């Protein structure tokens, strides 16, 4: 199941465009949400580099939510201002600290958040009893 809401203006910040999509946390969500991010950033005319950086970040964060959270769904909230483009990926699962898997799992996995941090201008991880939210921003192309 997929729900999409593309809204032009936020209630709190009237000039800030945003878009929201909720999907079942399955592997099929990853390419769909990556495409959603690319299409949205293209529509906002924020530049090729910002679009591709954000698409990579969405891919990594949605993959983490689908593979590791145990959440039934994943939410992608995209937003931008004059300087940045951002994403908040939320799930209702539980956080597993990196390094709790086997050595083989660490060789194959565990690089997602490091990639996000490498591409993002800023990253914030918020863990609560009701799930995890990761927010990342990239610079819009000049």
Burial of 55 (0-12, 13-18, 19+ CB in 10 A): buried
Higher pLDDT, 89 or 5: 89
CATH label of the domain that carries residue 127: 3.30.565.10
Q: Could you report how far apart the first and last alpha carbons of the chain are, in Å?
A: 37
Average pLDDT over residues 17-43: 97
Q: What is the pLDDT of residues 104-119, one digit of tens each?
A: 444 445 677 889 999 9
Q: Is the pLDDT assigned to residue 14 strictly greater than 80?
A: no
Domain span at residue 29 reads: 2-139
Specify the number of domains making up the chain. Answer: 1
pLDDT at 141: 87
Tokens (6 digits) for 3: 């729900």
The pTM is what? 0.81
* Distance of alpha carbon 5 from alpha carbon 80, whole angstroms: 16
Q: Is the pLDDT assigned to residue 19 strictly greater than 80?
A: yes
- Is the dihedral angle over the CA atoms 36, 23, 82, 112 positive or is it negative? negative
Q: What is the pLDDT of residues 31-43, one digit of tens each?
A: 999 999 999 999 9
Q: With bands split at pLDDT 50, 70 and 90, how would you rate the model's confidence at 9?
A: very low
Burial of 140 (0-12, 13-18, 19+ CB in 10 A): buried
pLDDT at 112: 78
Q: Is the pLDDT assigned to residue 135 strictly greater than 90?
A: yes
Which of 70, 77, 90, 88 minimizes the C-alpha distance to 26? 70
* Distance of alpha carbon 8 from alpha carbon 130, whole angstroms: 28
Q: Is the pLDDT assigned to residue 92 strictly greater than 90?
A: yes
Q: Is the pLDDT assigned to residue 7 strictly greater than 70?
A: no
- State residue 67 phi and psi, 5-degree precision: -85, -30
Report the range of poorest mean pLDDT among 10-24, 49-63, 91-105.
91-105
Contact 66, 25 (CB under 8 A): yes
Average pLDDT over residues 3-21: 60
């Amino acid at each position: 199941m997929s729900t999409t809401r593309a809204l032009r203006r936020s209630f709190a910040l009237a000039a800030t465009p945003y878009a929201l999509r909720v999907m079942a946390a399955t592997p099929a969500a990853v390419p769909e949400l990556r495409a959603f991010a690319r299409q949205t950033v293209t529509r906002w005319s924020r530049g090729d580099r910002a679009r591709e950086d954000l698409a990579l970040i969405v891919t990594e964060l949605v993959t983490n939510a689908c593979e590791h959270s145990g959440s039934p769904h994943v939410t992608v909230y995209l937003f931008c201002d004059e300087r940045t483009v951002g994403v908040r990926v939320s799930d209702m699962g539980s956080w597993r600290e990196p390094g709790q898997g086997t050595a083989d799992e660490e060789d194959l996995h565990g690089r997602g958040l490091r990639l996000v941090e490498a591409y993002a201008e800023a990253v914030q991880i918020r863990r609560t009893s009701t799930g995890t939210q990761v927010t990342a921003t990239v610079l819009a192309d000049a």
